A and B are shown apart, each in its own frame.
Chain A
Amino acid sequence: MGKRTPLYETHVASGAKMVDFGGWDMPLAYGSQIEEHHAVRRSAGMFDVSHMCPVDVTGPGARAFLGRLVANDVDKLTQPGKALYSCMLNEDGGVIDDLIIYFLRDERFRVVVNASTADKDLEWMGHVRGEGGFDVRITPRRDLAMIAVQGPNARAKFWQVRPATEGDTAVLGPFFAAQVGDLFVARTGYTGEDGFEVMLPSDQAPQLWADLKAAGVAEAGLGARDTLRLEAGMNLYGNDMDDAVSPLDAGLAWTVDLKTPRDFVGRAALERQSADSGARRALVGLKLLGRGVLRSHQKVVTPVGDGEITSGTFSPTLGFSIAMARVPRGLKPGDEVQVGIRGSLLPAQVVKMPFVRNGKSLIQ
């Protein structure tokens, strides 16, 4: 038996198909995962993401510690509530995890890490703290549950069931968060739609879920979460990057700060990689031109050399198959490549990501 979130019984009662995900028993879908996907794009859906682990980083050394720990520039976090997406790297520049850091206030930060990597991440954070002698407390918050409410109507639905939060959360810009009573409400997500990710005491999670459901928010599982994030061009840890992959080869150069002199773990490796750009790879979007479904690990044949699909699926919004692929550098949108599917090479086209944002197709 896997680990269970505070909403496990709720999912089972709703008839969800439960699957193992990083050691957790999580809902794959409650019915049709394509309907769940459409609900998020067209109105509002909700995901139990309580398996992800919030980690509070507090103390006089918190900012300096995070500046050493992650590749993005933590000093961008000047306004309380601001969030920052970043990778946490090893000395070789490989991605230990991708995470979001929320700046709460003064010496308080909250970091949200992936479920399957949480133990590894905490160990690494302890290691970096010890090595640098940072005066900081690292506190995993397994007492919190997390519900992501996503879609064009998500915020309105949330305010409908928790009206007292509206004043403090209506003013939040994208990638900002606020603590409102027991609720930590962040305008972040993993779908390419507007919405909130809400952290709250575990014992309050089933009631919030039930209230949102009664307000017409669709229950959505990991299946829809994956197709939504892929359409949104967002990487999945373990598929699109991992310990052996540099963020520079995973479409995440925009999250790496080499401009300031800050000495973060993995910086030296990334600088060497930048100097040897001929050996680098790129993560590109692909659109399958015929019928079929692109899947991870399929071979991609291109004019500049071979690559591999890291994530692929059928896109419910677009009605054809899309993928992310790691390929040699030098391809541009519009270029045609071939993908090995069941013994045949089928044509696909390089497209700019994201594929879909705020309900609209961004590709031809």
Chain B
Amino acid sequence: MNFPSDLKYTASHEWVKKGDDGLLWIGISDAAQDMLGDLVFVGDFKVGAQLKAGDTAGVVESVKAASDVYAPVDGELVAFNDALGSEPQQLNSAPYDAWIFKLKSDAALDGLLDAAAYEASVAAAK
């Protein structure tokens, strides 16, 4: 299981990073894709949606289960990674390369988990 230290995380298994475009890039963690198994659908992300931290941004579905993906902080959903529509398995093969959506947000990321804290929360849930 991989927990890159340059990312921030949520207890609900999203990863977050500040991209070079100034937006927040958000995906699901290696632990999340491992728990879900083969991803087959990524959708319901609405560009233009104003989200509060904890709001549902969209959904990822594996063969066995559907799982909501949440906004880690307040912001506007400004982009969805369309490539995942036809190739959701990118979330299995390269979870930290495949961002799912981008948020335009001024929120601080201090309240999110760092890699060590997230790894500990994953371990505790086992």
Asked if A33 and B63 make an inter-chain contact with CB atoms under 8 angstroms apart, the answer reads yes
Give per-residue flags for B39-75: 1 if the beta carbon is below 8 A from chain A beta carbons, else 0: 0110110000000000000010101101000000000
Asked if B38 and A293 make an inter-chain contact with CB atoms under 8 angstroms apart, the answer reads no
B37 in contact (CB, < 8 A): yes
- When distances are taken between beta carbons in the complex, the residues of chain A under 8 Å from B22 are none
Q: What is the total of A-B residue contacts with beta carbons within 8 Å?
A: 39
Main secondary structure of the interface of A (DSSP, over half): mixed
Asked if A293 and B61 make an inter-chain contact with CB atoms under 8 angstroms apart, the answer reads yes
B85 in contact (CB, < 8 A): yes
Contact of A34 among B43, B63, B85 (CB under 8 A): B63
A338 in contact (CB, < 8 A): no
With contacts A33-B63, A223-B63, A314-B63 taken as known, whether A291 is within 8 angstroms of B41 at the C-beta atoms is yes
Give per-residue flags for B66-90: 1 if the beta carbon is below 8 A from chain A beta carbons, else 0: 1000000000000000000100000
Asked if B66 and A293 make an inter-chain contact with CB atoms under 8 angstroms apart, the answer reads yes
Asked if B63 and A316 make an inter-chain contact with CB atoms under 8 angstroms apart, the answer reads yes
- The complex places the Cα of A29 from the Cα of B92 at a distance, in Å, of 14
A227 in contact (CB, < 8 A): yes
Which partner residue on chain B sits nearest A19 by CB separation?
A: B64
- The complex places the Cα of A357 from the Cα of B63 at a distance, in Å, of 20
A361 in contact (CB, < 8 A): no
Which partner residue on chain A sits nearest B61 by CB separation?
A: A293
Asked if B38 and A33 make an inter-chain contact with CB atoms under 8 angstroms apart, the answer reads yes
- When distances are taken between beta carbons in the complex, the residues of chain B under 8 Å from A291 are 41, 43, 85
Give the Cβ gap from A29 to chain B, nearest Cβ, in Å.
Answer: 6
Give per-residue flags for A296-322: 1 if the beta carbon is below 8 A from chain B beta carbons, else 0: 000000000000000001101000000
Give the Cβ gap from B62 to chain A, nearest Cβ, in Å.
Answer: 8
Interface centre among A17, A32, A313 (most CB of B within 10 A): A32
B residues 6-41 with Cβ under 8 Å of A?
37-38, 40-41
Give the Cβ gap from A345 to chain B, nearest Cβ, in Å.
Answer: 14
Size class of the B contact interface (CB-based, 8 Å):
10 to 19
- The complex places the Cα of A217 from the Cα of B40 at a distance, in Å, of 25
Give the Cβ gap from A246 to chain B, nearest Cβ, in Å.
Answer: 29
- When distances are taken between beta carbons in the complex, the residues of chain A under 8 Å from B64 are 28, 33, 223, 313
- When distances are taken between beta carbons in the complex, the residues of chain A under 8 Å from B66 are 293, 295, 342
- When distances are taken between beta carbons in the complex, the residues of chain A under 8 Å from B37 are 17, 28-29, 32-33, 223
With contacts A291-B43, A292-B43, A342-B44 taken as known, whether A34 is within 8 angstroms of B38 at the C-beta atoms is yes
With contacts A227-B63, A313-B63 taken as known, whether A32 is within 8 angstroms of B41 at the C-beta atoms is no
- When distances are taken between beta carbons in the complex, the residues of chain B under 8 Å from A342 are 44, 59, 66
- When distances are taken between beta carbons in the complex, the residues of chain B under 8 Å from A292 are 41, 43, 61
Asked if A293 and B44 make an inter-chain contact with CB atoms under 8 angstroms apart, the answer reads no
- When distances are taken between beta carbons in the complex, the residues of chain A under 8 Å from B92 are 32
Give the Cβ gap from B32 to chain A, nearest Cβ, in Å.
Answer: 14
- The complex places the Cα of A314 from the Cα of B37 at a distance, in Å, of 13
- When distances are taken between beta carbons in the complex, the residues of chain B under 8 Å from A17 are 37
- When distances are taken between beta carbons in the complex, the residues of chain B under 8 Å from A227 are 63
Give the Cβ gap from A50 to chain B, nearest Cβ, in Å.
Answer: 22
Which partner residue on chain A sits nearest B44 by CB separation?
A: A342
Interface centre among B38, B43, B85 (most CB of A within 10 A): B38
Asked if A32 and B61 make an inter-chain contact with CB atoms under 8 angstroms apart, the answer reads no
- When distances are taken between beta carbons in the complex, the residues of chain A under 8 Å from B85 are 291
A–B pairs, 24, beta carbons within 8 Å = A17-B37, A28-B37, A28-B64, A29-B37, A32-B38, A33-B37, A33-B63, A34-B38, A34-B40, A223-B63, A223-B64, A227-B63, A291-B41, A291-B43, A292-B43, A292-B61, A293-B40, A293-B61, A313-B63, A314-B40, A314-B63, A342-B44, A342-B59, A342-B66
Q: Beyond A28-B64, A291-B41, A292-B41, list 14 extra A-B contacts (CB 8 Å).
A: A17-B37, A29-B37, A33-B37, A34-B40, A291-B85, A292-B61, A293-B41, A293-B61, A293-B66, A313-B63, A314-B40, A314-B41, A316-B63, A342-B66
The 9 closest A-B CB pairs, nearest first, are A314-B40, A34-B38, A293-B61, A314-B63, A293-B41, A32-B38, A33-B38, A33-B37, A292-B41
